[in-house]
Structure formats: structure tokens, C-alpha cells
Amino acid sequence: MSRRIQVGVLGATGAVGQRFCQLLEAHPWFEVGAVTASERSAGKYYKDAVDWRLSTPLPDNIGGLRVIPTRSDEMPKDVQLVFSSLPADIAERVEADYARDGFGVSSNAASYRMFDDVPLLIPEVNKDHAKLIQIQREQRGWDGFIVTNPNCSTIMLVMTLKPLMQLGLTDVKVATMQAVSGAGYTGVSSMAILDNVVPYIGGEEEKMQIETPKILGAFDGTKVINASITVSAICNRVPVIDGHTESVWVDVDASPEEVKLAMASLPPLKGLPSSPERPIIVREEDDRPQPRLDRDVYDGMSVSVGRVRRDVVKGIKYTLMGHNTVRGAAGASILNAEMLAAEGFLK
């Protein structure tokens, strides 16, 4: 990349917005030129507007930026791309405004994931779906575009399912154990989650069930044809800070060794700064993966898999784990943007 691309972060003071700022601090391709937040934060320096909750220090270069309102007409014109960590109800209107005004939008929000003309991207899995951008621009009359990354739990699941498609995958069942950071800083009170498991996360099961077939589907030149697989999900919130764990059952006619080899062989994306050298790490220890031990492998951008074995009924079962606010959120949006930049979608 011969020049650094100016980017903005929408909703920069929230949990995922902070993760965006952390990951973009020294990014070799992208430079944060603007941060947005609610009207009550507008005009403040970012360092004064944000309640910084990450373990690394707040980046000085971003902390000194003035917060601007989350409106496309407020965004500096030298910014080409914005990363959105907005709530879905706000994102639906705001992201369209940005795309209409010529900005690229790499969104972590759920608002546009299931629209037929919007790519739902995991670059190692379906980067060819980015060709929907041209169709989106033509149909909507936009100079910019919107691309989305999936739900955090979906990303980790689908990365392990993609290699199994060649083994005749038809049916998937998954039970998640999701970290509290996935609900944002004020999403689950300590009194609700300590010494507890909450067996409900609103909308989460439905997202996993409908997003997965789209991501694994085939782009036919005009649209994505969903993959012919069924997904059944149960989602639970557990007292872990970062790192979603999932127990998975898949109906494939393959041995555990064939499954492990296929997963370990998922190829990385060459030349992208955030791309992990090994997208899937297969562990052989009986008690791995674990969030505390494995969430930060390859800077949190890899998915760890373990306990791959035959099910007593049929097929294979295994455990996976990934960092929900990195690989499952901000890091996923950044990797999407890197892929788009490398493929010439950002001019």
C-alpha cells in the first residue's frame, strides 16, 4: 500500500469502538482521521469523552482527536472509509447516509447483513461475495458502499465449517458460551452474571442460523445462493470477560483426523496486515481451547479448535473458541477493509 488511507470510527466510545481505535492505532494502511459519538460527546477530545476500558493505553494520536457527531455531513472529506460499531437501530439509517455520500462502510452492525445486495464477509471464507458491491451501487445509486461482518459467534463457527463443506456438511448444531464483553460495558450487570449462566441472548440464535447459510453460499454473478445446510443454535452468556466458546456437532461423513486436517488447512490471506498466519489452530490437548489461554493467539485473529472426536450418534463434535471483540467484531471489520483495499474497492 503506497499511501495510508484516512478512516473514521463511528460510535468510537463504545466497547467495539474502543477496540477499533486500539487495533487501528499503528495500522500500516489505515490512519484514523475522525471519531464520532453521541451529541453529548461532540466537541470533546476523544480522551475526555471515552471511558477507556482496554488493558493497553489509549492511543495518543486518537485521544487528541475532537469527537464529531455521527452524521455523514460532519465527516472530513479526505476520509474514504468508516468503521461502524453503531447499534443496529441507528446503523440502518446512518450507514446508508454514509454510503450515499460516497464513503465506504465496513460495519460490525447487524442492520444490513441479510440484504441481498450487501456482502456478509469473512475474507478467508467468501471474499468473492465482495462483488456484490457493484450490484449494490447500481441498485441503490450509491457512490459508496456497505459491507458487513457477521455476528461474533457466527464468524468463529463459519470459519470452522468452511473446510468441512468439501466433506459433505449438511447439518450443524451449536451451543455457545459467550463472554460478557459481547454485550458491551453496560450490557450485563455483575449481579446478573457472577455465579451464573444466562441461557438467553436476544436475537443471537437466529443470527447464527440465518447468517451461516448466506456466508457459505455461492455467488452466481448477481446474487448469493444460500448453502444447503441447516443450523440449530443455543446461546448462553457466561462469566468470562473475552472469548466465546462453542460446542459444535456436525453431520459429516469423515474421520476426526480428516476434519482436523481440513480445518488446519484453511489458507490465510497473504499480504493483509491483520490476517493471521493460521486462521484455525487445531489443538490436541484434552482441555483446550480455553478463553484465558487461547483468545489472544495471533493477536486474537485466529480461531482455536480442540476435542475433535466422533459423536456417539453420528458425525463429529468439537469445541472452538475465538476472541469476540477482535476476530468477532472490530478485527473482522478491519480485515474486511484490508481485503477491499487490496482488491481495489477503495480508490
Query: Tens digit of pLDDT for each residue in 218-276?
Result: 999 999 999 999 999 999 999 999 999 999 999 999 999 999 999 999 999 999 999 99
Please give the Cα distance from 285 to 264 (Å, whole number). 15
C-alpha cell at 107: 460495519
323 assigned to active site: no
In the prediction, which pLDDT does 3 show? 75
235 assigned to active site: no
Q: What is the pLDDT of residues 50-82, one digit of tens each?
A: 999 999 999 999 999 999 999 999 999 999 999
In the prediction, which pLDDT does 8 show? 98
Dihedrals phi, psi of 336, to nearest 5 degrees: -55, -45
Please give the Cα distance from 105 to 96 (Å, whole number). 9
Angle at 279 between CA 276 and CA 282, to 5 degrees: 130
Q: What is the pLDDT of residues 289-313, one digit of tens each?
A: 999 999 999 999 999 999 999 999 9
In the chain, list all ranges with CATH 3.40.50.720.
5-150+329-342
Which percentage of the chain shows pLDDT scores above 70? 99
* β pairing state of 145-148 and 230-237: unpaired
In the prediction, which pLDDT does 1 show? 64
In the prediction, which pLDDT does 276 show? 98
Cell 456478509, residue located: 120
**Taking the domain 5-150+329-342, which CATH number applies?**
3.40.50.720
Contact residues for 158 (Cβ-Cβ < 8 A; gap 6+): 122, 125, 150, 211, 212, 215, 216
Comparing CA positions, the residue from 269, 209, 266, 245 lying closest to residue 328 is 245
Overall average pLDDT of the 177-199 stretch: 95
- The region, left, alpha or beta by phi > 0 then psi within -120 to 50, assigned to residue 159 is alpha
**Residue among 21, 129, 244, 323 flagged as catalytic:** 244
**Mean pLDDT, the chain, as a whole number?**
97
Q: What is the pLDDT of residues 108-154, one digit of tens each?
A: 999 999 999 999 999 999 999 999 999 999 999 999 999 999 999 99
Per-residue pLDDT at 326 exceeds 90: yes
In the chain, list all ranges with CATH 3.30.360.10.
152-323
Angle at which helix 152-161 crosses helix 204-215, to 10 degrees, equals 40
CATH 3.30.360.10 holds for 152-323? yes
Overall average pLDDT of the 177-191 stretch: 93
**Residue among 21, 152, 235, 323 flagged as catalytic:** 152
